[in-house]
Structure 1
């Protein structure tokens, strides 16, 4: 019942637009400040490796993630110094404009969980909660945005391509 409300109701679409604009602005400004102010994730990642999330027993909780950071992210820090600020900015634009909303929110949630796994709590729980509402709502979250035109265009284009490949 709640899913139907999120996915089909016009009042829900209006509420989702407010949530989408809030999250979009937060993502956009975070990314834009990193792009314009300079950004280097190496200190953050090194600290996440040095001080991993530990459970009550004192053991590392996400050792696989620490291994990823240590063996992949830190050696390729230039890539991460590019994709983090640009990813945040593009997620924010997608959410604010309501363009490819579910894709933008999916990648926003991936980034939120990445920050979480690295031991940063901050506003991530709230963003994750609101992000899952947007993701669950699907198309309706971007109905009052560019998705109103973009999603039908994509569906129409994909449908033509499927028909051509089936013939």
Structure 2
């Protein structure tokens, strides 16, 4: 793991972080522009997704575990209207955070949390790749945001409130 924190890999982690941010911001914006998410037919898309998740929770080898299916059934579906906005706004915020390198660790944790929930809901797609990229960037530590707004914030904070 020490090689992840090698200062010469900072450009690699920056490119990976910006790529990951792009992977989040594009679908978030698309959802915000899609009437089945937030327009006149709001909730149609997320309700269909959640019902599909429930359908995968039965059989000998369910793709969705019983406990997650209970969460979908008792929390997510009844509050689909809230999730209709929370999901795309969360995706856009994660994307902006990672592209700018601002509050990077929070963005990585938020993105990994959403990826994990998509995986638990039975959707593979690009989620394992995005989840793995987020974990690698978290392991890279400060090198993941060395080139970004976080570095400016940290420098300012240290100058203003650092050792006196």
Tell me if the contact between 1:100 and 1:150 (Cα under 8 Å) persists in the aligned partners.
Answer: no
**2:12 alignment counterpart:** 15
Query: Quick one: distance in 1 between partners of 2:83 and 2:95?
Result: 18
1:67-117 CA-partner distances (Å, limit 9, x unpaired): 000000100111111110000000000000011111101010000010000
TM, length-normalised to structure 2? 0.85
Give unmatched runs, 5+ long, in structure 1. Answer: 161-167
**2:24 alignment counterpart:** 27
**1:37 alignment counterpart:** 34
Tell me if the contact between 1:6 and 1:13 (Cα under 8 Å) persists in the aligned partners.
Answer: no
**1:47-62 paired onto structure 2 within 5 Å:** 47-52=52-57, 57-58=60-61, 62=65
Aligned length: 155
**1:101-140 paired onto structure 2 within 5 Å:** 101-140=104-143
Tell me if the contact between 2:27 and 2:91 (Cα under 8 Å) persists in the aligned partners.
Answer: yes
| Structure 1 residue 53: Cα displacement | 7.2
Tell me if the contact between 1:21 and 1:95 (Cα under 8 Å) persists in the aligned partners.
Answer: yes
Q: Does the residue aligned with 1:143 lie in a helix, a strand or coil?
A: coil
**1:5 alignment counterpart:** 3
Which structure dedicates a bigger proportion of its chain to helix?
1
Tell me if the contact between 2:56 and 2:63 (Cα under 8 Å) persists in the aligned partners.
Answer: no
**2:40 alignment counterpart:** none
Give unmatched runs, 5+ long, in structure 2. Answer: 38-42
Tell me if the contact between 2:25 and 2:95 (Cα under 8 Å) persists in the aligned partners.
Answer: yes
Query: Quick one: distance in 2 between partners of 1:29 and 1:126?
Result: 16
2:80 corresponds to 1:77: yes
